[in-house]
Amino acid sequence: MNTAERSLRSLVEKWLTPTAATPIRVTRFTRTGSSRKRYVRVDAQRPEGSIGLFFFRHDDGTWQVFPPGTGG
């Protein structure tokens, strides 16, 4: 897998397709409880309303839309 294809920026662009008319912003950046895994919530403003997605950092350094350890 190409790591660049799993960067946070590439996933945000893939899932939320930000534009000048539909801006995005990071609304939460933190770590989970005992495992201390990082995750980010990114929100996009759409004409029909706001949408938000969580992105999770995996041990190999990639970002995914599913948490580590879920077998995805």
- For residue 4, what pLDDT is reported? 57
What pLDDT does 5 receive? 62
Mean pLDDT score of the chain: 84
For residues 7-15, give the mean pLDDT: 90
Number of structural domains in the chain: 1
Stretch 17-39: mean pLDDT: 83
Does 58 reside within a domain? yes
Question: How large is the average pLDDT for residues 44-50?
Answer: 88
For residue 45 the two structure tokens come to: 């403003």
For residue 72, is it within any domain?
A: no
Measured distance between the N- and C-terminal CA atoms of the chain, rounded to whole angstroms: 14
pLDDT at 54: 93
Q: What is the pLDDT of residues 48-63, one digit of tens each?
A: 889 999 999 988 889 9
Residue 70 lies in a domain: no
Distance CA 28, CA 2 (A): 26
Q: Is residue 60 part of a domain?
A: yes
Residue 37 belongs to some domain of the structure: yes
71 within some domain: no
Task: Show the domain range for 46.
Answer: 3-64
